[in-house]
Amino acid sequence: MKLAKISLATLVALGAFSSVASATPLEEAIKNVDVSGMARYRYTNTNTEEAVGSKTGAGHQFKFIANFKAAIDDNFFGVIGLRYNKTDGTGSQDKDYNTDKTNVNNDSNLGIHQFYLGYTYANTTITAGKQTLGTFFTDDAIGTGVKVLNKDVEGLTLAAIVFDGLENDKQESDGGLYDFEAVTGKAANENVRTLSVYDAGNLYGVAAIGSYDPISFQLWYASLENLTDLLALELAGDFDVTNDVNIGFKGQFVNSDANSDIKNAGKALGFDYNDGKFYAGELSGEFFGVSATAGYIGYDVKNKGMTSFSLEDQGSLIDVAEQFSDKVGDYTLAEGKGNFWFAKLGYGIDKFKFSVDYVAGTVKYTGGNETDYQEVMPAVAYQYNKKLKFSTFYSWANYDKKGEPDRDSQKYRFEARYSF
């Protein structure tokens, strides 16, 4: 009797067919799954004057996030998200070539974005696992821990968080705090911060968030246990005068109470991480398609040292223009005493939105040093449909440090974003 030769592919196919009867149909498997996320392409070009010459950079960034939320039963749900983030340079520094520097090894750029289990009972939701922090002091930072939200009182949300694992990836986590450990010296007239071993600890927080039209408020307390305790208050109002006229206001205050461990570490390593206060406010209005905003941003660090008012990017704090956070207004590592005035003007027609931001002010440092700063940023956005948006901006900034020649910095960006 001859034995028939069966290929591996045939065996796999036979196994698949034999299990069809017990498999869950695809339609049934995905009918209770909600998918959300975005796909984004960016091209960014920067040019900054240095003490000698200038520093230029350009790159293409591709970012994709997809989160899948599935109902497990009436109370439990699960979320798993994938994230791809890659930046490609635009050319080679080799004098004989000018070729694309795309890195074909993308394994490290694709990973888990979120992975958590949720439970909802009445008006309380508990989520545990890898998830977006969702605090007043962070933008889109990810951490591993537990979050509790309660909405028993109409218009009021109570929140509590505990995270013992925080994302610290320079490609994902924005702000100087993630580069900061010690100021060791100066090069090209800029502070050099080198990484050393320092455990910032776990993140704990509670919040009360209220919305009672036309007034809303947020009260937050968060502790990055070995770095600083943050207390924030925001009060905002939004009033419709007529169908075509709207006015609003927003005020914010943040108190940073630096931990004694980082204060002592700073004394030993030659930097002053200290307590500080942040205060900002803005008035806004919309009139027949024209929007206008004017406001003030200020912060004051004890002894004109450095402190943190946000823990990743600018958080929910009032921000303006594009290069402000790169040059003098990085809230994750604010230094000295800063005072800034800003204005924004915009106009929308059909699917187009035109705007311009302006900010000017001064930061005072120890020893009488100070830097004058101003930035102008015109921008255009085109909302093709509800999901697809194109936008671009050009930012020009000038910063004049006492005793040094003033410098210019330009930044240009084009972005296409699809949300789903």
In a domain, 154, yes or no: yes
Q: Would you give the distance in Å from CA 420 to the centre of its chain? A: 19
Give me the CATH number covering residue 198.
2.40.160.10
Using DSSP, state whether 187 is helix, strand or coil: strand
Q: For residues 310 and 329, what is the distance between their CA atoms, to the nearest angstrom?
A: 11
Q: Does residue 168 register a pLDDT over 80?
A: no
Query: Is residue 247 in a domain?
Result: yes
Residue 2 lies in a domain: no
Q: Do the beta carbons of residue 391 and residue 354 sit within 8 Å?
A: no
Burial 143-163 (b: 16+ CB within 10 A, else e): bebebebeeeeeeebbbebeb
Look at residue 106 and tell me whether its pLDDT is greater than 60. Answer: no
Tokens 């209005």 found at:
285
pLDDT at residue 24 in the model? 61
- Contact indicator for 253, 277 with CB cutoff of 8 Å: yes
Banded model confidence at residue 124, pLDDT cuts 50, 70, 90: very high
Out of 36-50, 86-100, 304-318, least confident range: 86-100
| Whole-structure pTM value | 0.85
The answer to whether 256 and 268 have CB atoms below 8 angstroms apart is no
Identify the sign of the CA torsion 217, 249, 316, 200: negative
In this structure, what token pair is assigned to residue 242?
Answer: 């007529």
Residue 71 belongs to a domain: yes
CA distance linking residue 143 with residue 164, whole number of Å: 7
The DSSP line for 233-274 is: EEEEEEEESSSSEEEEEEEEEEEEEE-HHHHHHHHHHT--B-
Element (H, E) at 183: strand 182-187
- Residue 2 predicted with pLDDT over 70: no
Count structural domains, the chain: 1
Please state which of the ranges 1-10, 47-56, 166-175 shows the lowest mean pLDDT.
Answer: 1-10
Query: pLDDT band for position 401 (50/70/90)?
Result: confident
Q: Which of 309, 323, 312, 322 is nearest to 280 (CA)?
A: 309
Residue 341 located in a structural domain: yes
- Does the residue 280 lie in any domain? yes
Residue 105 lies in a domain: yes
Name residues whose C-beta falls within 8 Å of residue 24's C-beta, 6 or more positions apart in sequence: none
Split at pLDDT 50, 70, 90, the class of 23 is low
- 274-296 pLDDT tens trace: 999 999 999 999 999 899 999 99
> What domain range includes position 73?
8-419
Mean pLDDT of the chain: 86
Q: Which of 42, 124, 155, 39 is nearest to 420 (CA)?
A: 39
Q: Residues with Cβ < 8 Å from 362, sequence gap 6 or more?
A: 338, 339, 340, 370, 371, 372, 373
191 domain residue, yes or no? yes
Query: pLDDT band for position 94 (50/70/90)?
Result: very low
Q: Please give the average per-residue pLDDT across 326-341, as a whole number.
A: 95
